Structure formats: C-alpha cells, structure tokens
Chain A
Amino acid sequence: MIGFLLRRLLAAVPTVLLVSVAVFLLIRMIPGDPAIVMLGEGANDAALAAFRSELGLDRPLPVQFIVWAEHVLQGDLGRSILLGQPVSTLVLDRLQLSAMIILLAVAVASVLAVAAGLLAAWRQNSLTDVGIVALATAGLSLPSFWIGLLLLFVFGIKLSWLPVVGYVSFAEDPGQAWRFLVLPVLTLVIVEVGVLTRMARASAVEVLRLEYITHARAKGLPERTVLFKHALPNAFAPTLTMIGIVIGALLGGIAVVETVFTLPGLGRLLVEAIYGRDYPVIQGCLLVIALAYVLVNLVVDLLYPFFDPRIGLE
C-alpha cells in the first residue's frame, strides 16, 4: 500500500513539472517584454528594473524557470495588474466558491448516477433501462450554459423562488448564501449525471454477469444484499475513475456556469483576466486549476484500491 502510494506520487511529478513549464512559457509566448507583460503598460522604469533583476530576466530561460518556480513554491505568484492584489490570495479566495460548487455537484450527480445505473443494469433491457439510457444520452447533448439560462428563467424569473443575479458569501449571510448555489449546482448535476450514469450502468452490467453474483444469489441472499453489498462496490470502481474525469471537465468548464449565474469564482476570475490581459492572474488561475486536476486524479487513484483491492496488489 505504501509502495503504491509512493509510486503514484512519483508518477505525478513529471506532470506537475510539465504543467509548470507550460504555464511559465505562456508568458514568454506573448510578444513583447515579459516585465511589461507582467506589470502592465503603466509600470514605471524603477519597478520594471526591479522586476527584471528579481526574476533574472537577463539570464538564460532555464535559470529564469528555476527562479520563477522558487517564487511559486513560496506562494508568490505576482500581483494582479487590474486588481492590485497578490495573485495567490485572489486565486485561493475565488477557488473556495468554485470548489464548493463542483464538489457538491459531483457528489449529488454520483449518487444519482450510481443509483440509476445500478437500477438500469439490474433491469437490463426493460423499459426502465431504455428510459434511463435515453435520458442519460440526451443529457450528454445539453450545453451547461443553456441549461443554466433555462433554470434561471424557470426558477428565477417565472417562479421567483431563487435569485437571478449576484452572490452573497457564506461569511456574509449563511441563510442567504445557499440560495445562490442551488441553480449552479443543479445545472452541473444535469450536465454531468448522464455520462456518469452511462458509465455506472455499463460497469454494473459487466459485474452482474459474473459468477460471484450468481453464487451470492444461489446462496439465497436477499436481492438487496446481492446488489448493494456484492455488486455495488465492484461496479463503482470504474465509475470512480469517471468521476475524476468529470471533476477535471468541470474545473475547466466552471467559467461558463459562473458567467451564467454571475458568481465570483475562479473561472470567472480567469475569463476576466483574459479580457483584461492580466497575465499574472491568468498564470495563477491556470496553474491552480491544473494542479487541482492532478490532485483529483491522485486522490481517485489512491481511493481505487478500496473499491477494487486487486489494483493495489500489483
């Protein structure tokens, strides 16, 4: 188990390194002086000179990367050109909201998908199964920004149950804050539940065909025990991998949902930084999102042996 953990951690190192190099090179790909790119057009000569010597911009590129990486490891991602705040505080602050929405949505979608997938597989080829598969397939074709707008129209405007614009954080007013999160979370659940259900159904179909299930039934175990204690854990393992992929897709696509619901999350920060050519913020957002994705995959891989012990033994 410890060996597996270490090997998995080591395997993540090249990815993290490559992600950092890509984010570092991003700024160098922009035509012009990197110091001006990072500090903005309005920076004065003294600040530019200080920045150049601090980051060693007159030295070769590999040295520049090492200097940059040292700053990043100390939590120094530079300062936002537009907002004037340190990028690290800005990014971590906005990350909380995005992470909360994504994790809530994934948790709800996973529970629904596993239940629906197991039911569909158990009643394979019945009308229930066909219905679940058809709904899941239709769900694959729905763009999140459209679903978000439709939900806003129905629940925000027609029924006036939930707010249409703005955001109140949990720190300001916990009683109100959740009302701003219902629709974004629901949107992501609708968009992602389809792909998870298809995966859960496919793996449950495979598992229910296996001999140990027949054996469990032959022993006279109640069907409930067979399904939930014997089939579910094995059917869940491949779905877990898919959950990791879905979180990655959501990390990339969160900007769209935050735009629809005017939420001040990390995705919105990134998009606004791209509009305003605020490169330190762009760099910080890309780095944090990519590292979060690597971390999610790591956690998924570490959880996998709990559901499928054969994996950890290799």
Chain B
Amino acid sequence: MRIRAPLSLSLRSLIGGFLGTVVLVAAILSTVWTPANPNRLNVTQRLSPPGGEYLLGTDEFGRDILSRIMTGAWTSLSLAFLIVCVAIVAGSTIGLMSGFFRGWIDRVVMMLNDALLAFPGILLALGLVSVIGPQRYGIVVALGIAFTPTTIRVVRGTVLSLRQREYVEASRALGNGPFYTLFRHVLPNALAPIAVLATSMFGWAILLESALSFLGLGVPPPAATWGNMLSAARPYLASAPWLSIIPGACIAMSLLAVNLLGDALRDRLDPRMQGA
C-alpha cells in the first residue's frame, strides 16, 4: 500500500484546525462566561472526580476544573501571543535593518546574535526571570527576549536573499529612498517566512510558558494556567489523577494543533520545504 504524502495536507490542517478552534473558542468564551467561578473555593466539594456535578471534577480547593481550564486557555494563548509579538517585532526590526543595510552594525549584531543562539533559549529566560521575578508580564519579557535571536537570524537571512532581487534593485534605480524600498518591497516579501516562524514560535511559547508556570516561575496562583494547575496536581497524583491528566492533555492538544497548522502553513507558503 502506497500513500503519496505522510498524512495528506488537508487531513492535517483539518485536525489541526478543529483542535485549534476548540481551544480558541474555550479561551474566548472564558472571558465572558465560565460554568462556575474559576477561583471560588468550595471545601465540601474537594477533589470530586469528573462526570458529577462538575463536568471535569474539582481540585484540592473544590474549584471547578472546567472553568479553570477555560481561563487557563485564555491565559496561555494570550501570553503566547504577546511573547510572539515581542519576539517578532524586536527580531524583525533588528533583522531587517541589519540584513538590508549591512556594514559594521550587521557584523556586530550577528556576532552578538550568534553568541546568544549558542545557548539554550530557556536558560536565557530563566536568567531573566531570576532578575524580573515570577510574574505574568515578566515571563512575556523573558520569553520574548529569549525568542528574539532566532527571529533575527531568520529575518536577516530572508532579507539578504531579497535584497539581491531585480525588483529591489529597480526600486533603488528609480531613486527611491532605502526606507521606502525596505518597507514597500522587502518587508512584504519577507512576511511569509516571518508568518511560518511566528506559528512555530507560538507553540514554543505555549510550551515554555507552561513549563515556567509548572516550575512556579511563571504566572503566580491563584490565577489559573495549565502549567500551575499541573504543578499543584503533583501531590494528588494517586488520589486525583484527573488533576494531572486534564491540563496536560490541553497543553498537548494545543501544541498538536499549532504544529499541524504550522506544517500546513509552511507547505502552503513555502513549497520548497514540502515534505521536509
């Protein structure tokens, strides 16, 4: 039996799109409605299993897990979005300038950037968190900065190939200023690779934000995130395993959605990388 491509493109985007929509709808819905108050304590209903009065059960303080999962989805997605924005805006600006104008600034930027890329991003984030302290917008800054070097490298590489194109030379020959050429001709053509990068970074951002929150270095309680819900669940692994299973499944589902959609987007925007 021969199949043309590993999992056909449409099937992948269909599954990814479906999972992504579920998470997104739950997240947006949570800003206006949740089945119960996600932070209301109810000592008489501690650790009740899923399927009863509370669809997904309750946690060690009797809080409704479904409501916390929904607000957690909003927190995870909105923080991941902000992190990607920080990295894309900072990285694209530096990458565009550096790649387009070249010269000694480009050499210095690349030297510093290569050195930053030479150590793991999460380590950079941990170092920054140790200075900023564990707080919601602290991790946006820390992870945003940690993702910037990768963005710089990708954007600069794209710009380096674009600036050799005829239409860029034509724009210069017509006497257009460098910034006009950069924003009118180079930037629009660099958007596709930036979009592909942003998608995969969105997945890393969800994962690393959850990891930091799991370590107690991300969003502090009582606010619900999938990561800090998992971290609180560890002592109840034997008595209430659903506390560990549900938030982790949500993280895995979101990552799967992002990875599948990211692959589909990459194939659509960059046919050369098809099947890679």
A interface with B by C-beta (< 8 Å): 14-15, 18-19, 22-23, 26, 29-30, 125-127, 129-130, 133-134, 137-138, 140-146, 149-150, 152-153, 156-157, 164, 202, 248-249, 251-253, 255-256, 259-260, 270-271, 273-275, 279, 282, 286, 289-290, 293-294, 297
In the complex, the answer to whether B259 meets A130 with C-beta atoms within 8 Å is no
Q: How many residues of B contact A (CB 8 A)?
A: 54
Contacts of B2 in A (CB 8 A): 125-126
How close is B119's CB to chain A, nearest CB, in angstroms? 5
Q: How far is the CB of B113 from chain A (nearest CB, A)?
A: 10
Asked whether B173 is an interface residue with its Cβ less than 8 Å from the other chain, the reply is no
Asked if B43 is at the interface (CB within 8 A of a chain A CB), the reply is: no
B251 touching A290 by the CB < 8 A rule?
no
Chief secondary structure at chain A's binding surface:
helix
Chain B contact residues: helix, strand, loop or mixed? helix
Q: Is the CB of B216 within 8 A of A271?
A: yes
Q: B255 at the A/B interface (Cβ < 8 Å)?
A: yes
Q: Nearest CB to that of B238 among chain A residues?
A: A157
Contacts from B to A (Cβ < 8 Å): 1-7, 111-112, 114-116, 118-123, 126-127, 129-131, 134, 203, 207, 210-211, 214-217, 227, 230-231, 233-234, 237-238, 241, 244-245, 247-249, 251-253, 255-256, 259-260, 263, 276
Note all chain A residues with C-beta closer than 8 A to B115.
14-15, 18-19
CB closest chain-B residue, reference A27: B131
Among B120, B127, B203, B238, contact of A249 (Cβ-Cβ < 8 Å) = B120
Q: Which residues of A contact B131 (CB under 8 A)?
A: 26, 29-30
A143 to B244, Cβ gap below 8 A? no
Give Cα distance in the complex from A26 to B255, angstroms. Answer: 32
Contact of A202 among B215, B230, B276 (CB under 8 A): B276
CA distance A157 to B245 in the complex (A): 14
* B253, chain A: closest CB distance, angstroms: 8
Smallest Cβ-Cβ distance to B4: which chain A residue: A125
Decide if A150 touches B244 in the complex (CB within 8 Å).
yes
Q: Which of B6, B203, B245 contacts A130 (CB 8 A)?
A: B6
